[in-house]
Chain A
Amino acid sequence: MASARAHTPVFIRALLRLLPRGFREEFGEEMVQDITLRLGEAGGLWSRMRVRARAVLDMALTGLAERRRHRPAHRSPGGSVPSGQGPDALVSLARDLRHAGRGLRKDPVFALVAIVTLALGIGGATLSFSLVNGVLLRSLPFPRDHELATLRERQADGREEHLSFPNFDDWRSQSRAFQGIAALRFPSDQTFLVGGDPFRGTLVPVSREFFRVLGVDPWLGRAILPEENRPGGRQVAVVGYEFWAGALGSRTDLAALSITVGTQPYAVVGVMAPGFRVLEAADVYVPLELDPFQVRSSLNYRAIGRLAPGVTLAQAQVEMDGIARRIREAYPDDTRTESVALRPLRDVLLGETERPLWVLLGASTLLLLLACTNVASTLLARGTHRRREMAVRTALGAGRADLVRLVLSESFLLASAAGGSGVVLAHLTLGVLRSRGSDLIPRLGSVALDPPALLFALGATLFTVVLFGLLPALRASSMGDELRAGERGSSRGIRTFGWNVLVGGQAALAVVLVVASGLLLRSLAEIVSADTHFTADGVLVVEMDFSATHFASAQERGVLLGEIKEAFVALPGVDGVGLVSYLPDQGTMMTGAVFIPPMPAQGLPDPLALNVGWRVVDEDYFQVMGIPLVEGRPFSRADGGDAPPVIVLNEPVARTLFGDQQAVGRRVRFDPFWRDVDPEVVGVAAEARDWRTAPGEQPEGYVYWPQRLGYTRDMVAVIRTRGNPAELVAPVRERLRALAPTVPGTIQTLEARLAASFQDRSFTLGVLGAFALLSLLLAAVGIYGVVSYTVSARSREVGIRLALGAGTRSLRWRLFSRSAMTVAAGAAMGVLASLALGELMRSVLFQVSPRDPVALASAPVVLLVAAAVAIWIPVIRHTRVDPAVTMRAE
C-alpha cells in the first residue's frame, strides 16, 4: 500500500476531495489506483494531460451527482451528508455561483462592460505571451541550434558586410572551430519551368555543407550530395514543400521531375519539410559551387557555421580573426576584410523581434493590470448601490465570510467569462496576424494558442480574480460590519487613501501606455511621412522575365527590350516608358562595392568603401518614376554604345562618399561592374526607397543598361499613363505577347503593387492607435467608477453642506479638484515611469527619442481631459439631488 501511495501523483489524491466523504472512503483508494494505471498506459505527455483532464471532469461530475442524489431528504446511514458544519465546499460553491450569476443578470450592462474590459486585457496578454513563447522561447527547428552562427566580413571601420566566395572558401578550409561552414547566395525571384508551365519562385544556391551544417535532412528524397556540388558537378535541386505541393503537384516520383531555370534544367532530388526556412523562405535550392563567383570583393554570400563540440563562440572568434588577417595579408588588393563578425543564428533570426515582443508583453501586462483596477473600481462603485442588499443579507444572518464569498464568486464568474472570451479574442487576432504580419514577425507560423499559452490565460484569469475581486470582497465584509453595528457610512469611515491609490495608479498606468503608443506612432509617422521620392500615381509596371528565353547574345536581348519599349511608347495614353532591373519597393537585391579610387595601399583602412545596392536602368526611368535628380543629369542615349562608363548614385551614397562636395564629375570604383575602369558620376538621384526602410538606409547606384546588358535577365517596364493605368493592362499584355511570346510578364498598377505593403502599415497604425485609445478608455471608465463611488459615499456630507447653505458650485469644485489632483499626481508618476522605462524602447524607435517631449507631454494632457469628464459626470449627478432627500435617505 505504502509504495503505491508513494507513486501516486498528489494531484489525484487532491481530486478525491471533490467527492462526498462516504463515497470517498468506500472507493477512493480504488479510484486512485485506476487513474494511476490509466496514466501509466497513456504514452506521451499529451495523452497523460488528457487523462488528467478527463479525471478532473469525472471527479467533479461524480461529486455533484452524488450530492444531488443525497439532497432530497434521503439520508442513508452511511451516506455522505455532511454534518453540522454546514454544506461542504462544492455544494456551497455551486450555490454561491448561482447567486452571483443572478446578481450579475440584474445588471447586464455592468457585467458586459466588465467582461469586455477583462477579456481585452486577458486576450491581449495571452496573445503577447503566445508570441513571446512561440517566437522567442521555443528553440529553432535545427538540432542543437545553439551551435549555429552566422559569419560576416567585418571591415576596418567596423561595418559588417556579406562574404565573397573566395573568402568563404578559405574560411571553411582553414577553420577548426567550426565543424562546418555553409554559404548561401541571396534568394532571387525566378521563373521556373515545370513541364513547360512557368511558376514564380525563389532560388537559393547553397554550398555543399548546407544540409549537413543545419543538420536537416529533406523530408522526401535526399539532399544535394557534396560531389554534386563542385565545379563540373550535377545540376540537381532540392525544393521547398510549398513549391513541391504547388508547382510539382505533390508528385512523389522525384526521379521523373525536372525544373528549368533560364535554359538550365535541374533534376529534383529532394523535398524539404513544410515550413523549412533558414534566413528567408525559398522554393528551390541548387548547388552553388558549380560555378561560384570568384571575385574576392564581390560580397554576395551569407554564411552559417556549426561550432565544433565544446567550442565557444569566443574561441571561434579568435580563430576566425586570425584567418581573416592572414587572408588580408595574402590579398591586400582584393579584400578589405579585417576580421569576422560572428553572431548566434538565433539572434540573427530573432534579434530585431526580441525587444519589441518583450515590450509588447510588458505593455499588455500593464493593460491587464489597468483592466483589473478598472473593474475593481467599478465593482466598488457598484458596491455602494448594493449596501441595502448587503444590509438585508446581514440582517438575515449572513456572516462576514458569506458576503466575501458572494462578492468573490461574482469576480470569479466575470473573470471566467472574460478568460474564455479573451482566449477566443487572442485566437482571432492571431489569425489576422498570421495572414497580415508574416513579414513583420519571424516564425509566426509556429505561434499557436498551445497548452502553455492556455495555461498562461488561465493564470491571467485567476490573477485577475484575486486582483480585482479581493478589494471589493474585503470592502463588502467590512460593510457588513458597519451595517451590523448600525454605523452610518460617514465620510470619515471611508479610507480615502486606498481610493486615491486606485485612481492615481490607473492614471499612471494609462499614461505609461499612452506614452509608449505615442512614441511608436510618432516613429512610424517619421518613417512613413519621409518622402519616398517616387510617384506611384498613374504608373503601370510590367515585370518581364527573360531568363527562360534563349538569346544568342546579351545584345540580342537588348534589341528585344528596345523593341518592347518602343511598342509600349506607341500605345495611346502613354506618356513615357522607363526600364529598371527591379522596383524601389523591392529594396536592395544585388549589391556591389563603391569607393573612391585608387584602392588604398595595403594595410590602410578604406573608410569610404560602401556596399550598395545597384539597379540597371534606362535613360527615361528617373523621369517616368518621378525620381528627382538633386545634382547632375540622368543617363542619356549618348551614354550608350562605346561611350565611357557613367554612373548615377543616390543621395545617401553621394553624401557618404563626398560629403557636401559636388559628386558629379568625380570617378568612383564600382565593383563588380567595372574592375579596370572607374566610371564617372554624372548625376545624383534622390533616395527612391521602400517606405518600410528608414530614410538614408537604402544606398544605391544606378547603371545605364546598354553598358551592362548582361544584367537584364529580369527587367521591369514602368509606364506612365495619362488616364487610368489599369485600362492599359490589356493592350500592354497584347503587345508583349506579340513581340516576346516566351517572356512571362506580370502586369499591374504600381499603386496596386504597393497597396499590399500599405495594408501592413495601416494595420500597424491601427493596432497602435487602438492600443492607446483602449488604455485611455479603460482609465477613464475606472476613474469614473472610483469617483462616483467616493462622491456618492459622501452624499450625506454633501447633503449637510448644501443644507447649511454651501453654494453648489463651490462644493462641486471642491469635489472635482480633489479627484483631479489625484489624477494629476498619478499622471505625473506615469510620466516619471515612462522616462524610466523609455530606454527599453529605444531600439524600436526611429528618429524619435524615448524622451520625446511631444509624446511625454501630450499623454498626460489627453488623460487629464478624459479624466475631467469622468470626474465631472458623477460630481454633477451626486450634487444635483435635493439635500432633504439625501438626508432622509440616511
Chain B
Amino acid sequence: MADPTPHPADFLPLHPLELRILLTLLNGPAHGYRIVKEIEERERTLTAIYPGNLYRRIRDLLSKGLVEDADPPADGDTDPRRRYFRPTALGEAVVRAEAHRLQGLVREARAAGVLSRG
C-alpha cells in the first residue's frame, strides 16, 4: 500500500462480501442497509448480513481506497442523515479484475468436469 499507484491485481482475491458490496455500489451510491437489502434480494440463500460484519468490510474497502464516501443521490428516497458510499475508479477496476479471475476459475472447474456446461 506504500505504492503510490496500486495495481488492481494487488487486491485479489477479494473477500466474497467485499465483491458483493462493490457490485452493489456499481448501481449507484447507497448506504449500508440499502447495500445489505440489495445483496439479500439478489441471493436469497445467503444468511442475513448483520452490520458488524458489513462495516468491517466497508472499513477495509475504505482503507484500501476501493470505496469512498459519496453525497446522497439526488433522486429517490434518500436519507440525508445516512452515510453513502460509492466505488472509486480503482474499486471499479478491481471488481472487473476479480470477475475475470473468477471467470477463469469457473472455466477450470468446467474443464475438470465439476460444472456442467451452462
Footprint of B on A, CB under 8 Å?
A: 1, 4, 19, 23, 26-27, 30-31, 33-35, 37-38, 54-55, 57-59, 61-63, 65-66
Contact = CB atoms under 8 A, between A and B. Distances in A.
B59 A65 contact: no
Given A30-B31, A30-B51, A38-B33, A62 B56 contact: yes
Given A34-B51, A54-B48, A58-B50, A23 B33 contact: no
A30 B54 CA distance: 11
B84 to A, nearest CB: 10
Nearest to A61: B52
Contact of B33 (A4, A19, A37, A66): A37
15 contacts: A1-B81, A31-B51, A33-B31, A33-B81, A33-B82, A34-B32, A34-B33, A38-B33, A54-B48, A58-B50, A58-B53, A59-B52, A61-B52, A61-B53, A62-B55
Contacts of B31: 30, 33
B28 to A, nearest CB: 18
* Among A1, A30, A34: residue with most chain B CB under 10 A: A34
A62 B82 contact: no
A503 to B, nearest CB: 49
Nearest to A78: B63
Main secondary structure of the interface of A (DSSP, over half): helix
A64 to B, nearest CB: 10
Contacts of B50: 35, 54-55, 57-58
B22 interface: no
A4 B81 CA distance: 10
A33 B36 CA distance: 13
Nearest to B60: A69
Contacts of B53: 58, 61-62
B100 interface: no
B55 A33 contact: no
Given A27-B58, A31-B52, A34-B32, 6 more contacts: A26-B55, A31-B32, A35-B51, A55-B50, A61-B52, A63-B52
Contacts of B54: 34
B42 interface: no
A19 B55 CA distance: 12
A30 B52 contact: no
Interface string B48-90: 1011111110110000000000000000000001110000000
A61 B55 CA distance: 13
Interface in B16-63: 31-33, 36, 48, 50-56, 58-59
Contacts of A33: 31-33, 81-82
A55 B52 CA distance: 8
A30 B50 CA distance: 12
A26 to B, nearest CB: 7
A27 B81 contact: no
B32 to A, nearest CB: 5
A862 B16 CA distance: 67
A748 B95 CA distance: 78
A232 to B, nearest CB: 60
Nearest to A60: B52
B56 A31 contact: no
A66 B55 CA distance: 11
Contacts of B82: 30, 33
Contacts of B48: 38, 54
B32 A30 contact: yes
A1 B81 CA distance: 7
A119 B99 CA distance: 54
Contacts, number: 56
Contacts of A26: 55, 59
Contacts of A61: 52-53
Contact of B51 (A4, A58, A65, A66): A58
A4 B55 CA distance: 20
Contacts of B58: 27
B115 to A, nearest CB: 33
B30 to A, nearest CB: 12
Nearest to A59: B52
Nearest to B48: A54
A80 to B, nearest CB: 11
Given A27-B59, A34-B36, A37-B33, A58 B83 contact: no
A58 to B, nearest CB: 3
Contacts of A57: 50
A31 to B, nearest CB: 4
Contact of B52 (A1, A38, A58): A58
Lowest 6 A-B CB distances belong to which pairs?
A62-B52, A58-B50, A31-B51, A27-B55, A58-B52, A34-B33
A551 to B, nearest CB: 67
Contacts of B36: 34
A65 B33 contact: no
Contacts of A59: 52
A31 B31 CA distance: 11
* Among A4, A26, A37: residue with most chain B CB under 10 A: A37
Contacts of A35: 50-51
Contacts of A66: 56
A55 B54 CA distance: 12
Contacts of B56: 23, 62, 65-66
Contacts of A62: 52-53, 55-56
Nearest to A66: B56
A753 B78 CA distance: 74
A19 B56 CA distance: 11
Contacts of A4: 81
A38 B40 CA distance: 12
A59 B48 CA distance: 14
Nearest to B50: A58
Nearest to A36: B33
Given A37-B33, A58-B50, A58-B51, A30 B83 contact: yes
A243 to B, nearest CB: 41
Given A1-B81, A34-B33, A23 B51 contact: no
B59 A23 contact: yes
Nearest to A12: B51
B74 to A, nearest CB: 21
A220 to B, nearest CB: 33
A469 to B, nearest CB: 30
Nearest to A55: B50
A124 B14 CA distance: 51
A509 to B, nearest CB: 45
A437 B4 CA distance: 76
A213 to B, nearest CB: 46
B60 to A, nearest CB: 10
Contacts of B81: 1, 4, 33
A23 B58 CA distance: 11
A654 to B, nearest CB: 74
A30 B59 CA distance: 12
B77 to A, nearest CB: 12
A89 B14 CA distance: 33
Nearest to B55: A27
Nearest to A54: B50
A63 B53 CA distance: 10
Contacts of A23: 55-56, 59
Nearest to A62: B52
A92 to B, nearest CB: 20
